[in-house]
A and B are shown apart, each in its own frame.
Chain A
Amino acid sequence: MFQTIVPLFVDALANAALIFFVAFGLTLVFSVLRILNVAHGSFYSIGAYVSASIGLWIVSAGLNPWLTFPALLVSAALVAALFGPLIERTLVQWTYGRGEAVQILMTFGLFLILEDLQRLVFGVSSYYEDTPVALLGSIEIGGIIYLNYQLLLIALAVVALVAMRVFIGHTRMGRLLAVVVADREISEALGIDTRRMFTIAFTLGIFLAALGGALATPTAGVAPGLGADTMVLAFAVAAIGGLGQVEGAALAAVIVAAARVLAIYLFPALDAVAPYLVMLIVLLVRPYGLFGKPAIRRI
């Protein structure tokens, strides 16, 4: 049993790390902008397409294959820089203070546009570029072989979580973001340019989604429909953790990974449903998610 469960769990954990990046961005954008961005998953698949394209180009141009590693990061930064400020300034800002229905309709429209845009630019065939996985190789621990790349993914998710804590707690920008999250109106009265903070947070959220997608390509490749699948899973993880709670999203990603392993081991038919069953149970017991707090109503 151990020989089966552990590799399954590591595999699920590596997947959870990727979903965590997306849920992290989703929850960050939600806590600063108070917007649930339905199009968030599209940036995961765009990040995946861009990094696969750059990776394939590096290999075909005969450049040093190790360049595919920085290319993963560069792809995510490129996607964030290209789409973040543009979309926030032109589309998302019109939904501020206009109710959830408008936000969901607008971001859903954006999702449809981005899906078609991806088909237009990248076509409908799938991309596969696994140079980073091949370069890192594998390691044998206790008779079980693990892909080093998967272990790297898990480590990167932990690094991202710690980096965010340091950013929020110890940098000027992070502290000001925390003030905006806590109270948008007093932030403005205290001199914080909240519009600029929104643009920064939205761009950072897209960066995290695109980074998840870029990191996913070496193990899973990318094909049409990836954005929608990822969005639904990331939303489940963010909701289980409590919207706006980064640590909650991290724990939720691990729980979802564990649930999938159990499902695969005990009831393989339930594999795909397991995350949503977890969400159902958690939200029935704690409607605000594991780490969420009930919103305090002001008057």
Chain B
Amino acid sequence: MLTVRNLKVEIAGVEVLRDVGFSLAAGKATVMVGRNGAGKTTTLRAIMGLLPWKAGSVRIDGTELGPLPGHARAGLGIGYAPEDRRLIADFTVEENILVPALVRRMSAAERTRRLDEVYSLLPQLAVMRARPGGGVSGGQGKIVALGRALMLADKVLLLDEPFQGLAPALALEYARTLAHLHSNKRDIAILVTESSPKLLNSIADATLHIERGEIESLASPGDVGGLQHA
């Protein structure tokens, strides 16, 4: 579904991604594990067109993303939730989730159908739909960002360090939500980046290790257990 090959990205002359390559498949959840600064966020930002790349290619169902501006990539069915949530503070939770519907000029019927789907996959959101985006906690905000990304994710869902900064109980809730989403929405590929992968053991179909801007190994889910003790 999404194929990344030999991706190379420089930020201010410094090589941040040296050689990143992987592919994501529909119905599969992939976890990208690596330390801070290894290149996880940069990889997702490059895919979304928020950073230009020096070399390499990213294809989604055969369409090369390189020549497309960032805003055109979202329209290809990629939903992205950044690590720092980035909600619109003076829009309500529901208005935040509906921004993609506004961008894509969805019909009222399509809008309702997709919003209902988001609410059924993430029932917490239905409860806080009328609250302002600036008035939800960090953990709730992550779920809102996930719901907003789902409005666009017809093919691929990219989640950047969703557990970063969450209290253990909220992280656990987010992991359960993600597992529920993964088992109920099988038509999309999911990529989650994380510095400590233990919460994602239950949903990871594949794990990628990223180190100094390179994918080190393609590990099967069993290997993740070993990493926990390291």
Q: Is the CB of B50 within 8 A of A189?
A: yes
The 3 closest A-B pairs by CB, nearest first: A191-B74, A186-B86, A188-B70
CB distance from B138 to the nearest CB of A (A): 14
Known contacts A172-B102, A175-B102, A176-B102; decide if A189 and B88 are in contact (CB<8 Å): no
Near B by CB (< 8 A), chain A positions 180-217 give 182-183, 185-195
Q: Decide: B88 and A183 in contact? CB cutoff 8 A.
A: yes
Task: Pick 21 A–B contacts, CB within 8 A, sort by A.
Answer: A172-B105, A175-B99, A176-B102, A176-B103, A178-B91, A179-B88, A182-B88, A183-B86, A183-B88, A187-B71, A188-B48, A188-B50, A189-B49, A189-B82, A190-B99, A190-B100, A191-B71, A191-B74, A192-B71, A192-B103, A193-B71
Could you tell me the distance in whole angstroms from the C-beta of A251 to the nearest C-beta in chain B?
Answer: 19
Flag if B86 contacts A191 (CB, 8 Å).
Answer: no
Q: Which of A178, A183, A190 contacts B103 (CB 8 A)?
A: A190
Is the beta-carbon distance between A191 and B90 smaller than 8 angstroms?
no
The answer to whether B75 touches A191, judged by C-beta atoms less than 8 angstroms apart, is yes
Q: Do A185 and B50 touch (CB < 8 A)?
A: yes
How far, in angstroms, from A176 to B230 measured CA to CA in the complex?
A: 46
Nearest B residue to A188, CB-CB: B70
Q: Which of B88, B148, B152 has the most CB of A within 10 A?
A: B88
CB distance from B192 to the nearest CB of A (A): 17
A182 pairs with B89, CB closer than 8 A: yes
How many positions in chain A have a CB within 8 Å of any CB in the partner chain? 19
Which of chain A's residues have a CB closer than 8 A to the CB of B102? 172, 175-176
Given contacts A172-B105, A191-B104, 4 further A-B pairs with CB under 8 A are A172-B102, A182-B89, A183-B88, A191-B74
Is A297 part of the binding interface, using a Cβ–Cβ cutoff of 8 Å? Answer: no
> Shortest distance in angstroms between B150's beta carbon and chain A's nearest beta carbon?
12
Number of residue pairs across A and B with beta carbons under 8 Å?
60
Contact in complex: A185, B49 (CB < 8 Å): no
B37 within 8 A of A: no
**Known: A179-B88, A186-B86, A298-B84. Is A191-B100 also a contact (CB below 8 A)?**
yes
Q: Which residues of B contact A176 (CB under 8 A)?
A: 99, 102-103
**Assembled-state Cα–Cα distance A178/B92 (Å):** 13
**Contact string, B83-119, partner A, CB cutoff 8 A, digits 1/0?**
0101011110000000110111100000000000000
Cα A132 to Cα B104 in complex, Å, equals 44
Asked if B69 and A190 sit within 8 Å, CB to CB, the answer is no
Cα A298 to Cα B48 with chains together (Å)? 20
Known: A172-B102, A176-B103, A179-B99. A189 touches B74 (CB 8 A): yes
CB proximity of A190 to chain B, nearest CB, Å: 5
What residues make up the interface of A, taking CB atoms closer than 8 Å to B? Answer: 172, 175-176, 178-179, 182-183, 185-195, 298
A122 nearest CB across to chain B (Å): 40
Complex Cα distance, B99 from A190, in Å, reads 8
Closest to A196 in B: B71
Q: How far is the CB of A242 from chain B (nearest CB, A)?
A: 15
Cα separation A106 to B50 with both chains bound (whole Å)? 26
Closest beta carbon of chain B to A174's beta carbon, Å = 10
Instruction: Please measure, in the bound complex, the distance between the C-alpha atom of A190 and the C-alpha atom of B50, giving whole angstroms.
Output: 11
A191's contact among B82, B89, B152, by CB below 8 Å, is which?
B152
Does A190 lie within 8 Å of B148, measured CB to CB?
Answer: yes
Q: How far is A11 from B3 in the complex, measured between Cα atoms in Å?
A: 66
Kindly name the residue among B50, B71, B72, B152 whose own CB sees the greatest number of chain A CB atoms within 10 A: B71
**Does residue B80 face the partner (Cβ distance < 8 Å to A)?**
yes
Residues of B contacting A187 in the complex (Cβ-Cβ under 8 angstroms):
71
CB neighbours of A193 from chain B (8 A): 69, 71
Shortest CB distance B202–A (Å): 28
Give A195 to B48 CA distance when docked, in angstroms.
16
Closest A residue to B82 by CB, please name it: A186
Chain A residue contacts of B100, Cβ below 8 A: 190-191
Most buried by B among A186, A193, A298: A186
**Contact status A190-B74, CB under 8 Å:** yes
Q: How distant is A51 from chain B, measured CB to nearest CB, in Å? A: 36
Give Cα A184–Cα B171 distance, bound, in whole angstroms: 28
Chain B residues with CB under 8 A of A185: 50, 86
